[in-house]
Amino acid sequence: MSAPLRLGTRASALARTQSAAVAALVTETLGREVELVPVTTEGDVTDAPLASLGGAGVFVSALRAALLRGEVDLAVHSLKDLPTAAEPGVALAACPPREDPRDAVVARDGLTLGELPVGSTIGTGSPRRAAQLAALGLGLEVTDLRGNVDTRLRRVADGDLDAVVLARAGLARLGRADEITETLDPLQMLPAPGQGALAVECRADDHDLVAALSALDDAGSRAAVEAERALLATLEAGCSAPVGALAEVVEGEDGEELWLRAAVFSHDGALSVRMSATGPLGDASGVGTRLAELMLDDGAADLMTATDPVATTTAASSQGATASTTPKRQHA
């Protein structure tokens, strides 16, 4: 009988829940037993803003190091945490079926964003969410927020905050979707690239395991996140850049195709470059890359790098960036 596969996971409740789900899928699909191996990452031991730590990759590096040292056989990440650059020696072996990628609001008294009074405080640690909340023009006070899901929800329950914005997928996986007071339409708030998806990694030279784990891969989910991550990589955007993107598999004239929507915002939400593109599933990376190039041509880089609202306005205007407009649909 084969030894159990060792699956590296962060110790948070959400990470362990996601890893346990993948472990069950591995056992069901491959007939292999799996044991979870907790790994502490830098992002788990500090309350500092993610941007100051080098981005969401702080949740990934320790797991990858454990993989490469042979301490674990595979690792599970929230795919939105993965740096866009490939890691030598590590293979993205599978992207299981994606959960709902949208953002969700948990507010006091069951309120939606539009029902919150002007001046209400809403917590998020995401510059992407903060910029889009500002762009909605609802007069909400956005405050920085770190901590696990329980910690964030408790801030609302205790009355410290009027609302928080979280990924719907995480709440659903933790069995707390009933606490959501509003799920945000992507027209209001585009999610982070890769949000709602999981990444299963293993050592690239473990060819048998790479091949076996491919059975967990969902072709539509993989294509969607490849397009979103290619866009992010071409924009050269880090976690502090307000970038939203969502690719979906839709029915086109010649069968299934990808529809990718993306937006880059100034940090204050006042300006944005919004575009969309379609293309074949087999060219997911190309769809994302070409859409990003069009956005860069329209001033997206200036919005991402400017931090001062005045500088942002000046730089964006010189490059033709547009305020929130109806998305343009391009063939990429």
Give the confidence band of 40 by pLDDT, cuts at 50, 70, 90. Answer: confident
According to the per-residue pLDDT averaged within each range, which of 17-26, 298-307, 314-323 is highest? 17-26
Mean pLDDT in residue range 128-147: 95
Nearest to 304 by CA among 218, 243, 225: 243
Mean pLDDT, the chain, as a whole number?
88
Q: Provide the token pair at 276.
A: 């969309």
Confidence grade of residue 254 (pLDDT, cut at 50, 70, 90): confident
Task: Let me know: does 189 contact 126? Beta carbons within 8 Å.
Answer: no
Neighbouring residues of 302: CB distance < 8 A, sequence distance ≥ 6: 312, 315, 316, 318, 319, 321
pLDDT at 186 over 90: yes
pLDDT at residue number 2: 79
- Architecture per CATH, 223-331: 2-Layer Sandwich (3.30)
Q: How many CA atoms lie within 13 A of 210 on its CB side?
A: 10
Coil vs helix vs strand at 86: coil
State the greatest distance between any 2 C-alpha atoms of the chain, in Å, as a whole number.
66
Provide the pLDDT confidence category of residue 58 given band limits of 50, 70 and 90.
low
Tell me, yes or no, if the two domains 5-96+197-217 and 223-331 fold the same way. Answer: no
- Predicted pLDDT at 319: 35
More confident residue, 11 or 221: 221
Sketch the domain layout of the chain as residue ranges. 5-96+197-217, 103-183, 223-331
Q: Residue 329 pLDDT > 60, yes or no?
A: no
How confident is residue 42, by pLDDT bands cut at 50, 70 and 90?
low
Task: Kindly state which CATH superfamily the domain 5-96+197-217 is placed in.
Answer: Periplasmic binding protein-like II (3.40.190.10)
Q: Is the pLDDT of residue 77 over 70?
A: yes
Count Cβ atoms within 10 A of the Cβ of residue 65 and give its class: 0-12 exposed, 13-18 middle, 19 or more buried.
middle
For 138-165, how does the pLDDT look when each residue is reduced to its tens digit (9 = 90+)? 999 999 998 899 999 999 999 999 999 9
The reported pLDDT for the residue numbered 161 is 98
pLDDT attached to residue 287: 98
Give the pLDDT score at 118: 97
Average pLDDT over residues 44-62: 57
Q: What is the pLDDT of residue 185?
A: 97
245-268 average pLDDT score: 94
Q: What DSSP assignment string belongs to 99-125?
A: PP--EEEEEGGG--GGGSPTT-EEE-S
Active site residue 283: no
pLDDT in tens, 277-294: 999 999 999 999 999 999
Q: Does residue 306 register a pLDDT over 70?
A: no
pLDDT at 135 over 90: yes
**In this predicted structure, what is the pLDDT of residue 237?**
79
Alpha helices by DSSP H, the chain = 13-30, 50-53, 61-68, 127-135, 149-157, 168-173, 207-213, 219-235, 284-297, 300-305, 309-319
Residues 251-268, mean pLDDT to the nearest whole number: 93
- Superfamily of structural domain 103-183: Periplasmic binding protein-like II (3.40.190.10)
**What sign has the CA pseudo-torsion 244, 250, 253, 258?**
positive
Catalytic one of 47, 73, 81, 308: 81
